[in-house]
Amino acid sequence: YGPSYVRQIAPYVAGKPISEVAREFGLDEARIVKLASNENPLGMPESAKAALARAAAELGRYPDANAFELKAALAARYGVPAEWITLGNGSNDILEIAAHAFVEKGQSVVYSQYSFAVYALATQGLGARAIVVPAVNHGHDLDAMLAAIEADTRLVFIANPNNPTGTFIEGPALEAFLEKVPKGVAVVLDEAYTEYLAVDRRYDSIAWVRRYPNLVVSRTFSKAFGLAGLRVGFAIAQPELTDLLNRLRQPFNVNSMAQAAAIAALGDTAFLERTAELNAAGYHRLTEAFDKLGLEYVPSFGNFVLVRVGNDDGAGSRVNLALLKQGVIVRPVGNYGLPQWLRVTIGLPEENEAFIAALENSLAQA
């Protein structure tokens, strides 16, 4: 059944859930450490829990299809009109809606090698042509991406910071790129990890949205805001593109629990600060351990690190299995063409220690 371009899609590989690993390896769930999906190790903010309890009383009703209150809160926070916002069932939804809104079957989409897997899924699901530009130092090569744009290119995906590599493009380079992208080519700038950037790395992508009518900035509540299970993402773009996105968006794509929790989390700056501090300390600890073990890693600007665990193409799977047996779940990235590497999410201090100890064991066995 179905078109050949759908049959050719390689399914998305998500982090293994704790319950599955517990069953498969005969482990106690409480002992398992999951550092596989770039979730916030602090979990959900308390402010969001209270909002959820209130929203639960109204679950007999449909959600607000236009998410008036959440959009108003986002508009106030980011300084844009509510008409510039599109909500998604996670930012994955935004990425897919954008592909459908801007690209026809047979036209092309440009993205980087080693960039987030959903760009390929969204492109292939349309029967569009992917132009995958080779990475440089595991990150985006913006000059090559510009050069790769063809007459039928309608969309460019950029992740900054990128997942799974953690690489970062500095603001001025990105701005120079946006300046040169031809009219008629939309750019989705996926900033899922932007809240983790150190203050001196931040740039004002919302100001770029005002300047570039082809730019869509995509953000999520799944990472620093701690709401991955609720599935809320959003896009900010000028009205012409936002109107297209909203035509395709399913009317109730963000449920009422998610809307309520997102409003609470958005205002919880103390939680965001704690998250960023914990992440910076954890990054320091993990990379110190990698240095000590003589392991290469890609300097990361997100809440995860890509580390090379061996020099043969079996290394990632082998070390991953050894970690699983010790109750540590990380993410193999062979599907990204990185079979010698593993991606580990930065966890709580005790989770990082458990991972480091298990990694040392795994390497000794390997």
Task: Using CA atoms of 279, 281, 284, 288 in order, give the dihedral in degrees to the nearest 10.
Answer: -120
Distance CA 200, CA 207 (A): 17
Beta strands in 147-214 (DSSP E): 153-159, 186-190
Q: Applying CB under 6 A, which of residues 107, 163, 194, 253 lies at the interface with ligand PMP? A: 163
Nearest position to ligand PMP, beta carbon: 90
Which of these segments, 42-50, 220-228, 239-247, 326-334, binds ligand PMP (CB under 6 A)?
220-228
Q: Which of 88-96, 174-182, 315-323, 336-344 is the region at the interface with ligand PMP (rule: CB under 6 A)?
A: 88-96
Closest CB to ligand PMP among 188 and 209? Answer: 188
Taking the least distance from each CB to ligand PMP, the nearer of 216 and 289 is 216
Report which secondary-structure segment, H or E, holds 248: helix 239-248
Minimum Å distance from CB 360 to ligand PMP? 27
In the complex, least distance from residue 366 CB atom to ligand PMP, rounded to whole angstroms:
27
Q: Does 236 bind ligand PMP (CB under 6 A)?
A: no
Nearest to 61 by CA among 252, 192, 209: 252
User: How far is 159 from 116, CA to CA, in rounded Å?
Assistant: 7
116 binds ligand PMP (CB under 6 A): yes
Residues 6 or more apart whose CB falls under 8 angstroms from that of 276 comprise 195, 196, 224
Q: Of these, 35, 102, 157, 190, which contacts ligand PMP (CB under 6 A)?
A: 190
Written as one letter, the residue type at 38 is N
* Spatial contact of 254 and 67, defined as CB atoms under 8 Å apart: yes
Give the interface segment with ligand PMP, choosing from 64-72, 84-92, 98-106, 347-355 (CB under 6 A). 84-92
Buried b (16+ CB within 10 A) or exposed e, 125-157: bbbbbebbbebeebbbbbeebbebbeeebbbbb
Number of residues that bind ligand PMP (CB under 6 A): 13
Q: How far is the CB of 246 from ligand PMP (least distance, A)?
A: 18
Nearer to ligand PMP, 299 or 366 (CB): 299
Separation CA 47–CA 54 (nearest Å)? 11
Q: Which of 220, 242, 259, 275 binds ligand PMP (CB under 6 A)?
A: 220
Instruction: Select the residue interacting with ligand PMP from 222, 259, 326, 352 (CB under 6 A).
Output: 222
Nearest to 223 by CA among 157, 140, 114, 301: 301
Question: CA 82 to CA 71: how far, in whole Å?
Answer: 6
What's the min distance (Å) between Cβ of 251 and ligand PMP? 19
For residue 156, list its beta bridge partners. Answer: 110, 187
Stretch that binds ligand PMP, among 51-59, 87-95, 96-104, 244-252 (CB under 6 A): 87-95
Q: Among residues 242 and 253, whose Cβ is nearest to ligand PMP?
A: 253
Residue nearer to ligand PMP on the CB measure, 232 or 278: 232
Q: Confirm or reject binding of residue 192 to ligand PMP (CB under 6 A).
A: yes
DSSP H/E element including 306: strand 304-308
Q: Which of 40, 92, 167, 275 binds ligand PMP (CB under 6 A)?
A: 92
3-class DSSP assignment, residue 88 = strand
Residue closer to ligand PMP, measured from CB, 188 or 356: 188
| Side-chain-facing half-sphere of 173: CA atoms under 13 Å | 14
233 binds ligand PMP (CB under 6 A): yes
Among positions 28-67, residues that touch ligand PMP (CB under 6 A) are: 38
Among 40, 86, 91, 300, binds ligand PMP (CB under 6 A): 91
Longest dimension (CA), the chain: 57
Residues that bind ligand PMP (CB under 6 A): 38, 90-92, 116, 159, 163, 190, 192, 220, 222, 228, 233
